[in-house]
Amino acid sequence: MKTLELPTEDFRRLAATVVELCSEYLRTLEDRSTFPGVTGPESERLFNLDLPEGGMGDQAFAALTDVIHNSRCQNGRFFGYVQGSGDPIAALGDLLGSILNQNITAWRSSPAGVTIERTVVRWLSEAVGCRDFVGTLTSGGSAANLMGLAMAREAKMPGNEHGLYNQAVGVIYGSEQVHMAVPKAVALLGIGRENLRYVPCDDDYRMVPSQLERAIRQDEAKGRVPIAVVASAGTVNTGSIDPLREIAAIARSRGLWLHVDGAYGALAAIAAPGKFDGLALADSVSLDPHKWLYQPLDCGCLLYREVGAARNAFTYTGNYAKQLSSDPVEGFAFFEESIELSRRFRALKLWLSLRYYGLRAFRAAIQRDLDHAQRLAEAIERSASLELLGPVELSAVCFRHILNEYASEEVRNHFNLALRKRIVARGKVYLSNAELRGKFCLRACIVNHRTKETDIDAVVSEVLEIAPKVASELAI
């Protein structure tokens, strides 16, 4: 019978097998399809097997090739969602982090781990121009937004002790383009989604400050309590950046917390700080290194100005977890500033990756993504068959095929939906989708350090090549 003891020599041999698989995967990445040609039933047949009662030993590793072949691959032609490309150096950090199995609860649990996380958080805050902010790494932007809004709610409308019963209605403001993570957070915090105001946007999908101020005044007049405004620094659809400085002034004058959802875009401040004027005026900012710092999932971050606000929201310490040291380093505990108690060593990959390449290399890669987006937008505008459907502020490009000049909006939507499905299935380039003012868009989002100009050019050629085939199949 197998025990859970693993001889070091077996580990060395198996690790070499995995490293070889990873290396071969990376070597062949650019030739791989961006989407595996697998169906639901096939993936069930391959992986939904019975739990083995007896160990399979080395045979367990044999199925890893199936895992690789049936995974979506982030080569230079992957432009879906806001999905970073996954730096392999960081992946090596993840491996060591798991072997060390550090629990990043408090310095006493992991002196190196906690110090490294505090260090990378400082590096990130300095890199995006939010010097003196502190914070924590999170599982992603959704968790960071939830934590930022939890701090806001507790600061402006305390409910941790007595709940929110018998209190006035609290209100959160975001633009019409705010990410779905925000209504989710508003619901989880007991504020209620009907108390999230969707402030109208201008033609470039940026929140209109005067409309924000109007909405706040209306709520105040009705006796409600405006809690926070969520400004987007990179909306998920078009990468639009709300006018942060103006929104910060309104938030400050009316006593609201300002949370900036920078999960998609704010790390681009490393390359283009001018686009993010006013970012440092926020009370809290979410960032996603697993998006635009090319880190393997998961790696999000919440930055905040006042550590007291984080403690106010999150400190609740059982006797068994009390700190025995008042030293600012040795007595530090992330769990007093975070939702989580047990936390993985996320910082190690980011620390290793930033040390290995240096910030300059990341700045250049982000700038390349920004330039690639402009290149794609120009190619779309040059094509009589394509139409750009939104501004290209950062690296998201929304467009469609017009089919022909007589096609109705309904037919165009139907056609582009089918077109996208076919493009994804072909696996040459991967596009996701968006909807802007009722129009179905093909959407390329470029947060990919592997992308070359030829990969960008492949987008338009692929769309133009497939369109006539899809149109004739649909008989339109």
Residues found near ligand PLP in the complex (CB under 6 A): 82, 140-142, 145, 179, 181, 232, 234, 236, 261, 263-264, 288, 300
**Three-class secondary structure of residue 344 per DSSP:** coil
Q: Which is nearer to ligand PLP, 143 or 460 (CB)?
A: 143
Q: Which is nearer to ligand PLP, 106 or 121 (CB)?
A: 121
Q: To which H or E segment does residue 374 belong? A: helix 359-382
- List phi, psi (to 5°) of 257: -75, 140
Closest approach, Cβ 328 to ligand PLP, in A, equals 30
Q: Which is nearer to ligand PLP, 87 or 219 (CB)?
A: 87
Amino acid symbol at 82? V
List b or e across 279-290, with b for residues whose CB sees 16 or more CB atoms inside 10 angstroms: bbbbbbbbbbbb
Closest approach, Cβ 349 to ligand PLP, in A, equals 15
Q: Which residue has the tokens 């120009």?
A: 378
Q: Which is nearer to ligand PLP, 82 or 157 (CB)?
A: 82
Closest approach, Cβ 193 to ligand PLP, in A, equals 16
Structure tokens, 238: 């078009």
Q: What is the arrangement of strands in the sheet containing 430-436, beginning at the earlier edge strand?
A: 78-79, 430-436, 439-445, 396-401, 386-388
Amino acid symbol at 241? I
Q: What is the CA radius of gyration of the chain?
A: 24
Q: Which is nearer to ligand PLP, 155 or 266 (CB)?
A: 266
Residue closest to 90 by CA, chosen among 289, 296, 293: 296
Q: Which is nearer to ligand PLP, 262 or 467 (CB)?
A: 262
Structure tokens, 376: 């794609």
Q: Which is nearer to ligand PLP, 261 or 369 (CB)?
A: 261
Q: Which is nearer to ligand PLP, 114 or 263 (CB)?
A: 263
Q: How far apart are CA 182 and CA 188, in angstroms?
A: 10
What is the length of the chain? 476
Contact between residue 412 and residue 387 where contact means Cβ atoms under 8 Å apart:
no
Closest approach, Cβ 83 to ligand PLP, in A, equals 8
336: number of Cβ within 10 Å: 18
Closest approach, Cβ 182 to ligand PLP, in A, equals 8
**Three-class secondary structure of residue 451 per DSSP:** coil
Structure tokens, 231: 């400004």
Cis amide bond preceding 283, omega within 30 = no
Contact between residue 171 and residue 228 where contact means Cβ atoms under 8 Å apart:
no
Q: Which is nearer to ligand PLP, 159 or 183 (CB)?
A: 183
Contact between residue 310 and residue 304 where contact means Cβ atoms under 8 Å apart:
yes
